[in-house]
Amino acid sequence: MEIIYHLQSYITFKIKDFFQTNINISQFQLHTLENKIRRNRIYQLHQISRNIEIQILEHSGNDLKNLSVQDVTIGEYLNEHQWVHTVKYSKDGKNKPKILLIHGFAGSVLSYHKMFSLLSEKYEVYAIDLPGMGLSSKPLWQFKAYEETINYFTKALEQWRQEVKIEKLILVGHSLGGYIGSHYAIQYPDKVEKIVLLSPVGVTLWGLYLCTLKVFLTPLFADVFLVLNLVDKVPFLYLVLNILGQ
C-alpha cells in the first residue's frame, strides 16, 4: 500500500511539473487537476482496501452470496461529500430484526467479522465504519466543543438509518461505538429496539488522569506494555487501598 502511495505521489508530481514547464496553465486549473488526481488516487486505494476487506470476510467463513457492501451517502460536511461504509449480511430474504454493529475507536466493520454468520441466523446484520475511520469518508472536522463532536456522530448515524430505510434497529456498540450508540439511543429512542454495550467508553476525571499518566510515563520506559499494565492496574489498587483504609 505504501509503495502504491509513493508511486502515485511521484506520478502526480511529474504531471504537475510537466504542466508548469510546458503549458501556459493557470494556478486554478492546476489546482483542479491536482484535486482530480488526488481523488482518483484515493478512489484506487479505497477499492484495493474494499477488495482486501471482502477477502478477509470470506476467509473468516462468511458466504459472499449473503454479503453486500456499499458506501451510503449521508450528506455533506463543510461542502465535503460524506459516506458511511456499510456491510450487510443476510442469509435469506425473511423480514428479520435489524442489528447494527458499531466498532470502537480506529476500528472498522472487521472488528465483528467472525460474528456475521452466527448473528445472521436470527438477524439481518449491518456493520458500519464510523465517519473518519475504516473505509468511510474522512472529512476535515472543525469541532470546537464536545457537544459538536457527539452530535455530529449521532446525526450521521441517524442519516445513515434513514438512507438504508431501517425503521427500528438493535444497536451493538463496542468502546467508542457503545458511547455513540448510547447517545443515539437517548436522542432517538423510538428508533432503537434494544442496545447492547460491549466495554463502552466513558470519560471521568479519574480516567483523564490515567490517560495523562500514560502519556508522561511511556517516554520513560522502553516497554510500552509495562506502562499500560501498571497504569491500568491503578484503579483496582486505588479501590483496594480505600477499602482497607490505607
Determine if the pTM surpasses 0.85.
no
Q: For the chain, what are the domain ranges? A: 1-59, 63-202, 205-244
Q: Measure the CA–CA gap between 105 and 178, rounded to whole angstroms.
A: 10
Which among 224, 205, 221, 53 has a CA at the least distance from the CA of 135? 53
In percent, the amount of the chain with pLDDT more than 70 equals: 65
pLDDT tens string 159-209: 999 999 999 999 999 989 999 999 999 999 999 999 999 988 765 544 554
The pLDDT of residue 236 is above 90: no
Residue 236 vs residue 112, higher pLDDT: 112
Q: Measure the CA–CA gap between 220 and 195, rounded to whole angstroms.
A: 41
Confidence of residue 53 (pLDDT cuts 50, 70, 90): very high
The pLDDT score that the predictor gives to residue 194 is: 94
First to last CA, the chain: 54
pLDDT tens string 218-230: 455 445 454 445 4
pLDDT tens string 83-101: 999 999 998 877 899 999 9
Q: What is the mean pLDDT of the chain?
A: 77
CATH of domain 63-202: 3.40.50.1820
| Beta bridge pairs of residue 98 | 124, 169
